[in-house]
Amino acid sequence: MKFQPDRSEGVNLITRHEPGRVWVGAQAFEGGVVVPWKGPVQHWAARAVNDLSPVDFERLLTLKPELVIFGSGSSLVFPSPALLRGLIAARIGVETMDTAAACRTYNVLATEHRAVVAALLPAR
């Protein structure tokens, strides 16, 4: 049985979330946020599903993920398929869940060294 913690050097991990805020490592981010498995965390201007446009999801293409985990806020709200068209056309998987579940799922995939991006709307 292994008793030492796994280390994921260079991988962004979500260490905490609460209404309106997500921590990646020791840094807090307010509002919407895009967390790639590697590289800088980015602010996401959208605060609710109704604020999203196709451009919000298309900009995720530059991160070259194999999977996008979309956190829709405090409750599960699926975005319109039209918003996801660019990701689907690029054969990038998209999973939607509430933001708390998205944070947990993202961490599991990131520690497996998967090319995953969490696109998170703030929970209220």
**Would you state the structure tokens that stand for residue 36, as one six-digit string?**
């790639």
How many helices (H) does the chain have, and how many strands (E)? 3, 8
- Exposed e or buried b for every residue in 78-112, given b needs 16+ CB within 10 A? ebeeebbebbeeeebebebbbbeebbebbbebbee
Give the C-alpha separation, 114 to 92, whole Å: 13
Give the C-alpha separation, 90 to 120, whole Å: 20
Average pLDDT, stretch 10-24?
Answer: 95
DSSP 8-state secondary structure symbol assigned to residue 101: H
**Would you state the structure tokens that stand for residue 13, as one six-digit string?**
């991990």
| Position 6 confidence tier, pLDDT thresholds 50, 70, 90 | low
For residue 4, pLDDT beyond 90 = no
Residues whose CB is less than 8 angstroms from the CB of residue 4 and which lie 6 or more positions away in sequence, other chains included? none
| 62-102 tens-digit pLDDT | 999 999 999 999 999 999 999 999 999 999 999 999 999 99
The percent of residues in the chain predicted with pLDDT above 70, rounded, is 94
Say what the pTM is. Answer: 0.91
- List, in order of start, the domains of the chain with CATH numbers: 30-120 (3.40.1230.10)
